[in-house]
Structure 1
Amino acid sequence: MASENSPKFHIFSQEEALSTFLPLLHPHLPQSNPLYNRLQAPQNHPSRRCLFAATFPPSPSPPPSSLQESHTLVFADRSRHAESQIWTFNPLISEHAAKGSVTIEQQAVIRAQLLALILFLKNTAILDAPGWPFSPILKFGCIHDVLTQELRALAVPRQAALHDTQWNLWLAPTRASPFLVQKRALPDGFSVARVPEDQLDIVLSTSSIPRQKETMLTLPNISILNATGRLVAWAYIGIDGTLATLYVLEEYRGLGLASFVAKELLTRLGRGDFGDLGFKGQSGWCHSDVYDGNKGSEAVMRAVGGNVRGVSSYFWVDSELF
C-alpha cells in the first residue's frame, strides 16, 4: 500500500492534459515523441474514456519549473485490451540521454512514481469506458529503458512481469532533413499513393502483428503500386507516431523500395499531409522500435536519417499482485 508521502497521480481532462502536457513534453523531443504523439492521436475519442494523469494536479497556471526534473505524465486507454494501453514519460529520461545515466536518488524517484502509477491505474474505476471492467494486466507501450528498469525491479519480485520485449529505439526527423530527399526515381510503371482500401487485406495478411482493418484505415500511410495498380510496398505511421508496418513484397525486394516508401511517408508526415486523418506531424520526429540485428529495418532507419537513442520496451504488469 502507498504511504501518505508517496507520489500521487491526479486526473486531468483531455483539454487540460493537452494544454499542460504538450508544453512540458516539447522541450524533451525527440525522447518524448511517443507520448507527445499518443496524446494527440485522433483515436482518443471522448467515448473511449481515455485517462490523462500526472504527479501534479491540474492548475489554471503552468506547472512550476521545479516539476521539470521530477514529474511523470501518463496517457492510458485501458479499453484496448489487445493492444498497448499506457504511455508515460519522465524528464529524467532526457537526463539519462544527455549524461548516460541517472543517480541512485533519481532511480528511487522513478521507482516510487511508477509504483504509485501501478496502484493508481489498478484502483481507478472508469465505469462507462468500453470494456469495463478492465483486465488487471497493464500494458505499457514504447517505454524507455530508464523506466523499464524500475518497473522490472517492482514487478519481477512479485512475479508480476508477464511480458517484456526490448527494442532499439530509433529516432528520425521528419522536417528539413537531407536524408529524406529521394536520390533516385521509382522504376518505370511504379507510382505512389495511399494504400487502396480494397487492397488492405494484403497489408493485414503480411503483418506478423495482428492488425485491425478499422484501425489501419485511420492511420497515415503510403504505398507503391505497380503498373497494374497492385500493391508492392507500403508503410504506416502508428497511433503514437511510430514508423510501422513497413513491407515490400518478396518479388520486388532489392529495388530500394523500402527506403523510398519510408522517406516518402516521413516527408508527407512532416509537412502535414495527413491532417485529414487527424495527424499533423507537429513533433517533427518519428520513432521506430527495431530488434537489435534486424539488418533490413536498421538500413531503412539509417536511410531516413535515424539514430539509435535508447532502448524501448513493451512491458505488461499484473496489477493484481500489487
Structure 2
Amino acid sequence: MASENSPRFYIFSQEEALSTFLPLLHPHLPQSNPLYNRLQAPQNLPSRHCLFAATFPPSPSPPPSSLQESHTLVFADRSRHAESQIWTFNPLISEHAAKGSVATEQQATIRSHLLALILFFKSTAIPDAPGWPFSPILKFGCIHDLLTQELRALALPRQAVLHDTQWNLWLAPTRASPFLVQKRALPDGFSVVRVPEDQLDIVLSTSSIPRQKETMLTLPNISILNATDRLAAWAYIGIDGTLATLYVLEEYRGLGLASFVAKELLTRLGRGDFGDVGFKGESGWCHSDVYDGNKGSEAVMRAIGGSVGGVSSYFWVDSELF
C-alpha cells in the first residue's frame, strides 16, 4: 500500500489534459512523440472511457517548475482489451536520451511514480467503459526503456511480468526533410491510394501483431496498387503516431515499394492530409518500433531519415500482485 508521502496520480478531464499535457510534452519531442500523439487521437471518444492523469493536480495555471522536472503523465484506454492500453512519459526520458543515464535518486523517483500508477489503476473505476470491470493486466505500449527498467524492478520480484518485448525506437521527421523526396517513380501501372476497405482483410492477414478492423479503418494509411487495382504494398500510422503495419507482398519485393510507401505516408501526414480522420500530424515526427537486426525495416527507417532514439518496450503487468 502507498504511504501518505507517496506520489499520487490526479485525474484530468480530456480538455484539461490537452491544454496542460501537450505544452509540457512538446519541448521533449521527438522522445515524447508516442504520448503526444496518443493524447490527441480521435479514437479517444467518448472520453469517459479513457483516463488522463498526472502526478500533479489540475490547475488553471501551469504546474510549478519543481513539478515539471519530475512529473509523470499518463493516458490509458483500458477498454482496448486486445491492444496496447497505457502510454506514459516522464521528462527524465529526455535527460536519459541526451546523457545515456540518470541519477540514482531520479531512478528512484520514476520507480515510485510507476508503483503509484499501478495502484492508481487498481483503485480507479471506469464503469462507463466497455468491458468494465477490466482484466487486472495492465498493457503498457511503446514505453521507454528508462521506465521499463523500473517497471521490471517492481514486477519481477512479484512474478507479475506477463509480456516484455524490446525494440529499437526509431524517430523520423515528417516535415521539410530531404529524405522524404521520392528519388524514383513507381513502376508503370502502379498507383498510390488509401487502402481500399474491401481489401483490408489482406492487411489484417499479413500482420504478425493482432489488429482490430474497426481501428484500422480510422487510421492514416497509404497503399500501392498494381495494374489491376490489387494491393501490392501499404503502410499505416498508428494511434500514437507510429509508422506501423508497413508491408510489401512477396511478389512485389525488390522494387523499392517499401521506402516509397513510407515516404509517401510520412509526407502526407506532415502536411496534414489526414485531418479528415482526425490526425493532423502536428508533432512533426513519427516513430517506429523495430526489432534489432531487422535489416529490412532498419533500411526503410534510414531511407526516410530516421535514427534510433532509444529502446522501447511493450510490457504487461498483473496488477493483482501489487
For Structure 1 versus Structure 2, the TM-score category normalised by the shorter chain is over 0.9
Change (3 A) 1:54 1:47: closer
Cα shift at 1:67:
1.9
CA distance in 2, matches of 1:173, 1:120: 35
TM-score norm. by structure 1 comes to: 0.99
Q: Which string of whole-angstrom CA distances, capped at 9 and with x for unpartnered residues, describes residues 23-64 of structure 1?
A: 000000000000000000000002651000000000011111
Cα shift at 1:318:
0.4
Cα shift at 1:274:
0.1
CA contact (8 A) 1:48 1:79 kept: no
| Identity value in percent | 93
Q: Which structure 1 residue ranges, 5 or more long, are not aligned?
A: none
Helix, strand or coil for the counterpart of 2:153?
A: helix
Helix, strand or coil for the counterpart of 1:138?
A: strand
240-249 or 210-219, which deviates more: 210-219
Cα shift at 1:68:
2.3
> What residue in structure 2 maps to residue 236 of structure 1?
236
Divergent runs of 4+, >3 A: none
CA distance in 2, matches of 1:210, 1:51: 23
Change (3 A) 1:47 1:172: closer
**RMSD value, Cα:** 0.7
CA distance in 1, matches of 2:84, 2:236: 17
Helix, strand or coil for the counterpart of 1:17?
A: helix
CA contact (8 A) 1:48 1:130 kept: no
CA distance in 2, matches of 1:81, 1:284: 29
40-49 or 156-165, which deviates more: 40-49
Change (3 A) 1:47 1:32: closer
Q: Which string of whole-angstrom CA distances, capped at 9 and with x for unpartnered residues, describes residues 68-127 of structure 1?
A: 220000000011111100000000000001111000000000000000000001110111
Q: Which string of whole-angstrom CA distances, capped at 9 and with x for unpartnered residues, describes residues 241-296 of structure 1?
A: 00000000101000000000000000000000000000000000000000000000
> What residue in structure 2 maps to residue 88 of structure 1?
88
Helix, strand or coil for the counterpart of 1:15?
A: helix
TM-score norm. by structure 2 comes to: 0.99
CA contact (8 A) 2:234 2:248 kept: yes
Change (3 A) 1:49 1:268: same
CA distance in 2, matches of 1:224, 1:209: 21
CA contact (8 A) 2:17 2:53 kept: yes
Q: Which string of whole-angstrom CA distances, capped at 9 and with x for unpartnered residues, describes residues 200-234 of structure 1?
A: 11111111112121111100000001111111000
Q: Which structure 2 residue ranges, 5 or more long, are not aligned?
A: none
Helix, strand or coil for the counterpart of 2:127?
A: coil
Helix, strand or coil for the counterpart of 1:313?
A: strand
What is the total number of aligned residue pairs between the two structures? 322
